[in-house]
């Protein structure tokens, strides 16, 4: 079974999505990261190989190691502003630093706190201190517990990962 997706590349980072507007929004977020923090932007390319935006609604997203692929449902991209999306990319790519020798270096339930800290620092560069309340809110809500209930998305991500690795996706280039 072949699935159709669009893709583009920025340096070594492949971006895959089902719609042009999703690719555009990811490119805008990456440009914002570059403009805001060139060092963080440069780190992205060693931490992240692929951003894969699915055609599913919902807020689930998952970072796969050692593949260095971040999967997100399209609602994650469409329903967030560029500042939040850029900070989320920084957050998700940070998870690659928490993985060594085939396993995460800390328990899974402790992965989010340092990634949220980095995300908050990035948002503060964009928005000042007011961004702290957004990070505090999502941390207090423990969004990762809500996402873990979305078993369908996580199974879908694994299926797409398998299709991607076995070159069974029809990727159409878009600039």
User: What Cα–Cα distance (Å) separates residue 126 from each residue in 32, 34, 37, 46?
Assistant: 9, 12, 10, 23
| Whether pLDDT at 2 is above 70 | no
Find residue 7's DSSP bridge partners. Answer: 16, 173
| pLDDT tens digits along 63-92 | 999 899 999 999 999 999 999 999 999 999
Give the per-residue pLDDT at 12.
Answer: 97
Neighbours of 2 (CB within 10 A): 9
Report the distance separating Cα 146 and Cα 29, nearest Å: 25
Residues 36-55 have a mean pLDDT of: 96
| pLDDT tens digits along 145-173 | 666 667 788 889 999 999 999 988 888 88
Could you give phi then psi for residue 8, rounded to 5 degrees?
Answer: -145, 170
């Amino acid at each position: 079974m072949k699935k159709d997706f669009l893709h583009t590349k920025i340096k070594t980072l492949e971006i895959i999505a089902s719609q042009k507007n999703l690719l555009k929004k990811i490119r805008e977020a990456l440009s914002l990261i570059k403009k805001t923090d060139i060092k963080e932007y440069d780190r992205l390319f060693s931490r992240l190989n692929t951003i894969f935006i699915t055609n599913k609604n919902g807020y689930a997203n998952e970072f796969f190691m050692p593949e260095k692929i971040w999967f997100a449902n399209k609602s994650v991209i469409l329903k967030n502003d560029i500042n939040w999306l850029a900070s989320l990319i920084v957050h998700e790519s940070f998870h690659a630093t928490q993985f060594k020798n085939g396993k995460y270096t800390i328990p899974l339930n402790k992965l989010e706190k340092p990634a949220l800290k980095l995300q908050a620092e990035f948002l503060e560069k964009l928005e000042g201190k007011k961004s702290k309340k957004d990070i505090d809110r999502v941390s207090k809500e423990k969004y990762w517990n809500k996402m873990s209930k979305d078993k369908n998305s996580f199974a879908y991500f694994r299926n797409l990962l398998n299709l991607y690795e076995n070159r069974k996706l029809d990727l159409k280039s878009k600039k």
